[in-house]
């Protein structure tokens, strides 16, 4: 098994595009949530979202023709991949048989589905054949693997290319399976991550009707996402993408690449319990954490920081807290834990990849970002969630937790690289 390191980061998020802007907002505890502008929410109980605000696809080599043929989730992915490749100073040639791509989306091209549906019925109402007006690019725009495919096409990456889809765990599944490809010698370099652009009336309506969204802070949207807080009422819809460049240690050293961290352990399990709810006993979440620690060959007391899944939903935050207690025992009350979703909302398929970047930057900066809006402690969520203000401390080993609808549990351990 070859060692795998991360050498590049790319971010398109509600709190900023690019790692510097993103990190500054994260460290300062800036919320990206606000009144939603991408749809008319006047009839809805929830009027809040965390939208990407400073993304121009032209800045990332996506031309006007490509913009028309890429759903927003693919645009975000290509933009984040562009950043990650530049950040890693990765040499790109006319053909790249040693570089592959695994990039996923929990939902895919929902914006395109909704736009094309509206055009279809509009034509039908006018007595025309609605099907004849459906874009020839409809399927290539909506398919969940479109993000991976378009990154491969743009950069001529000729190794394996695929799209993962495991709801909120998508980004971390993509990174873990990309690391496996490198560990097994199937690739030297992988571009991996997750992306989502699901802020449409269909997406908004669905999550609202399943009572997953916070509806109680329409007049104070920045306070709506409050993981682990007693008054949490649901998540805030976010959007965007996170990408990382993974390399075999040998390949990274050969080209003298800057190394953020090494992937030392991972754990993958399934609750096999419910299509949306986590299992109340948290056993499989705890087992995923234990697998990651065992593969890394460390003690749970060696973990300095946990970037929690922390969605701000009552059941999820409680089940994650229970799992951490099961594995970390008394040390659960000492390890620093925080939820980035308190600031950027829930990016669904993009969340775990962005949160992997949070761990990497926390290591680099020596700062643990806060969980904002933690104002009223929940007696059942009683761990140390780095409340409201970032903390300076050395982070040598960080854990990223990610759990998705369908019972998908993924955990990865990152360690500062030491030669």
Sorted by where each starts, the structural domains of the chain and their CATH numbers stand as 4-254 (3.40.47.10), 265-415 (3.40.47.10)
Tokens of 185: 């010698």
Residue 326: other Cβ atoms inside 10 A: 17
Residues with active-site annotation: 168, 309, 346
Interval 223-231 mean pLDDT: 98
What confidence score (pLDDT) does residue 290 get? 98
Asked if residues 252 and 229 have their Cβ atoms less than 8 Å apart, the reply is: no
CA-wise closest residue to 192 among 212, 219, 172? 172
Let me know: does 16 contact 25? Beta carbons within 8 Å: yes
Residue 136 confidence class, pLDDT cut points 50, 70, 90: very high
Contact 277, 315 (CB under 8 A): yes
* DSSP for 214-274, written as a single string: --S-TTSGGGS--TTBTT---B-B--EEEEEEEEEHHHHHHTT----EEEEEEEEEE--S-
Residue 317 has a pLDDT of 98
Query: In angstroms, rounded to a whole number, what is the distance separating the alpha carbons of residues 390 and 378?
Result: 20
Task: Tell me the pLDDT band of 273, cut-offs 50, 70 and 90.
Answer: very high
**Torsional class of 61: left (φ above 0), alpha (ψ -120 to 50), beta (otherwise):** left
Comparing CA positions, the residue from 124, 96, 85, 376 lying closest to residue 257 is 85
Share of the chain above pLDDT 70, in %: 100
Q: Please, which pLDDT band fits residue 139 given cuts at 50, 70 and 90?
A: very high
Tokens found for residue 105? 């989306």
Indicate the pLDDT class of residue 419, thresholds 50, 70 and 90.
confident
Two structure tokens written together for 164:
């993962």
Q: How confident is the model at residue 369 (pLDDT cuts 50, 70, 90)?
A: very high
Q: What is the dihedral of CA 291, 294, 300, 306, to 10 degrees?
A: -50
Q: Taking the model in full, what pTM does it have?
A: 0.97
pLDDT, tens only, 310-350: 999 999 999 999 999 999 999 999 999 999 999 999 999 99
Predicted confidence (pLDDT) per residue in 65-112, tens digit? 999 999 999 999 999 999 999 999 999 999 999 999 999 999 999 999
* pLDDT surpassing 90 at residue 418: no
pLDDT in tens, 85-96: 999 999 999 999
Provide, rounded to the nearest whole percent, the portion of the chain with pLDDT above 90.
99
């Amino acid at each position: 098994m070859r060692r795998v390191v991360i050498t590049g980061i790319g971010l398109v998020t509600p709190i900023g595009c690019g790692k510097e802007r993103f990190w500054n907002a994260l460290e300062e505890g800036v919320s990206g949530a606000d009144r939603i502008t991408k749809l008319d929410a006047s009839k809805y109980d929830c009027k809040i979202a965390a939208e990407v605000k400073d993304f121009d696809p032209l800045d990332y080599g996506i031309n006007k023709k490509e913009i028309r043929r890429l759903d927003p989730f693919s645009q975000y992915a290509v933009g984040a991949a562009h950043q990650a490749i530049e950040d890693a100073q990765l040499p790109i040639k006319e053909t790249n048989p040693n570089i592959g791509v695994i990039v996923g989306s929990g939902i895919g091209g929902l914006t395109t589905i909704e736009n094309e549906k509206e055009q279809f019925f509009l034509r039908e109402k006018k007595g025309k054949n609605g099907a004849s007006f459906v874009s020839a690019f409809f399927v290539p725009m909506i398919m969940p693997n479109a993000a991976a495919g378009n990154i491969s096409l743009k950069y001529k990456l000729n190794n394996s290319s695929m799209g993962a889809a495991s709801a909120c765990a998508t980004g971390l599944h993509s990174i873990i399976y990309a690391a496996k490809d490198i560990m097994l010698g199937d690739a030297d370099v992988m571009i991996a991550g997750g992306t989502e652009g699901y802020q449409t009336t269909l997406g908004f309506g669905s999550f609202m009707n399943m009572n997953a969204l916070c509806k109680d802070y329409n007049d104070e949207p920045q306070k709506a996402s409050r993981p682990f807080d007693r008054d949490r009422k649901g998540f805030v819809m976010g959007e965007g993408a996170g990408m990382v460049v993974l390399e075999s240690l040998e390949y990274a050293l050969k080209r003298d690449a800057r190394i953020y961290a090494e992937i030392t352990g991972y754990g993958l399990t399934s609750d096999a319990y419910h299509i949306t709810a986590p299992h109340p006993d948290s056993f499989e979440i705890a087992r995923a954490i234990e697998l990651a620690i065992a593969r890394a060959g460390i003690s749970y007391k060696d973990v300095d920081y946990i970037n929690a899944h922390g969605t701000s939903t009552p059941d999820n935050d409680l089940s994650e807290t229970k799992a951490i207690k099961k594995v970390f025992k008394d040390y659960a009350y000492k390890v620093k834990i925080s939820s980035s979703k308190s600031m950027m909302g829930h990016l669904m398929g993009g969340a775990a990849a962005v949160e992997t970047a949070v761990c990497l930057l926390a290591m680099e900066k020596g700062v643990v970002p806060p969980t904002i809006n933690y104002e009223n402690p929940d007696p059942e969520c009683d761990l140390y969630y780095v409340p409201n203000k970032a903390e300076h401390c050395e982070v040598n080993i960080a854990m990223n937790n990610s759990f998705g609808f369908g019972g998908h549990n993924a955990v990865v351990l990152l360690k500062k690289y030491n030669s």
